[in-house]
Amino acid sequence: MPTGTNIRTYFNGTWHDGDIAVMNAADHGMWLGSNVFDGARFANGLTPDLDKHCARVNASAEALMVTPTVSTADMVEIVREGLKAYAPDAAVYIRPMYWAIDGGMSAIVPKEGGGTGFAISLEEIPMAAPEFSATLTRTRFRRPVMEDAVVNAKAACLYPNNARMLAEARDKGFTNALVADALGNVAEAATANAFAVKDGEVFTPVPNGTFLAGITRARHIANLRADGVKVHECVMSFDDFHDADEVFLSGNMMKVTPVTAFDDTNYQIGPVTRRVRDMYWDWAASTG
């Protein structure tokens, strides 16, 4: 079942109206999980960092030994063509995807030089209202390391672990989970990167190979530093988040999500969180 509405699908070189079938039962991606995707946004008439998201899906494919077949520049143009069917004020989730078609060595490894499936899904999904917020709790599930999983890719096979983090959090009455890495330090939330604010300075877990340091995360860091705010990428404990003045999440889907509780610690939606959101859309508007 799709998440959004008014879906368009790019497949086999053309745009189609609706959520069409794109994969066969024997495709390597169907039964062995060689699927990667990325997510960008069309909102306020803008597509912030679309080129970076298209470039990352190609890098993700290579990490799963799937051969990417569409250049970043071509992918951007395909997306822009597909978006012409939407109203200028629509909010659209942009999802390019690859998967291997042919199996190679013992069928498990995608066949070198074999076929690659490619599709783009566009779905209207509203941006969150400014007052929308998240609540966090801890989870027993952790982020894997490179030796265990392809954590350097935005790979579909990683998301069942995220799903059980979310399910555990929601069973406890929270909307998301703050997740540890293998050493017990904070890595990110189940669905987004995490930031804490203390005494006007911003802290976020240092990328250590257990999670994707997001494109939107990097944009927030650059905007904050350009605005004169000190941003620290460092090893962070759960206590650091309990002690914070503000906490917010960063992800492509909603860009900035304020956090109002982490277990029994409560926060106000503070000035830094609001400033981060404003700076993001100011930057996006300035780049067209």
pLDDT of 1 above 60: no
pLDDT of 23 above 90: yes
pLDDT of 279 above 90: yes
pLDDT in tens, 209-265: 999 999 999 999 999 999 999 999 999 999 999 999 999 999 999 999 999 999 999
Residue ending a domain, choose from 104, 124, 144: 124
Residues 67 and 165 in one domain: no
Whole-number pLDDT of residue 215: 97
- What is the residue-averaged pLDDT of the chain? 96
d(CA 178, CA 261): 11
Of 166, 9, 33, 45, the C-alpha closest to 109 is 33
Residues 153 and 197 in one domain: yes
d(CA 162, CA 130): 25
For the chain, how big is the Rg over CA atoms in Å? 19
Residues 57 and 140 in one domain: no
**Domain-embedded: residue 186:** yes
CB atoms within 10 A of CB 61: 30
In the structure, what pLDDT confidence band is assigned to residue 76 with cuts at 50, 70 and 90? Answer: very high
Residues 6 or more apart in contact with residue 50 via CB below 8 angstroms: 40, 76, 79, 94
CA distances (Å), origin 84, targets 233, 253, 281: 39, 20, 21
The two three-digit tokens of residue 242, written as one number: 């309990």
pLDDT of 288 above 80: no
Residues 172 and 268 in one domain: yes
Whole-number pLDDT of residue 112: 85
d(CA 43, CA 280): 12
Residues 25 and 109 in one domain: yes
Of 259, 279, 257, the C-alpha closest to 268 is 259
**Domain-embedded: residue 189:** yes
pLDDT in tens, 77-131: 999 999 999 999 999 999 999 999 998 777 889 988 889 999 999 999 999 888 8
CA distances (Å), origin 214, targets 21, 108, 110, 251: 29, 29, 27, 7
Domain count, the chain: 2
**Domain-embedded: residue 48:** yes
CA distances (Å), origin 277, targets 26, 191, 197, 202: 44, 18, 14, 14
In the structure, what pLDDT confidence band is assigned to residue 3 with cuts at 50, 70 and 90? Answer: confident
**Domain-embedded: residue 238:** yes
CATH code of 280's domain: 3.20.10.10
- H helix intervals, 185-236: 215-226
CATH code of 71's domain: 3.30.470.10
Residue ending a domain, choose from 94, 124, 154: 124
CB atoms within 10 A of CB 48: 23
* Percentages (nearest 5) of helix, strand, coil residues in the chain: 30, 30, 40
pLDDT in tens, 161-184: 999 999 999 999 999 999 999 999
In the structure, what pLDDT confidence band is assigned to residue 187 with cuts at 50, 70 and 90? Answer: very high
pTM of the model as a whole: 0.95
Residues 274 and 237 in one domain: yes
pLDDT of 147 above 80: yes
Backbone angles phi, psi at 112, to 5 degrees: -65, 125
CB 54 within 8 A of CB 72: yes
**Domain-embedded: residue 271:** yes
CB 162 within 8 A of CB 190: yes
User: Would you say the C-alpha torsion 187, 51, 127, 164 has a positive or negative sign?
Assistant: negative
Give me the domain span that covers residue 228.
Answer: 134-287
Residues 86 and 183 in one domain: no
Residues 104 and 247 in one domain: no
The two three-digit tokens of residue 246, written as one number: 């503000």
Q: Which amino acid is at 196?
A: A
Residues 161 and 248 in one domain: yes
Residues 93 and 14 in one domain: yes
CB 9 within 8 A of CB 22: yes
Of 89, 99, 159, 101, the C-alpha closest to 126 is 89
pLDDT in tens, 33-68: 999 999 999 999 999 999 999 999 999 999 999 999
Residues 46 and 102 in one domain: yes
**Domain-embedded: residue 129:** no
Residues 109 and 215 in one domain: no
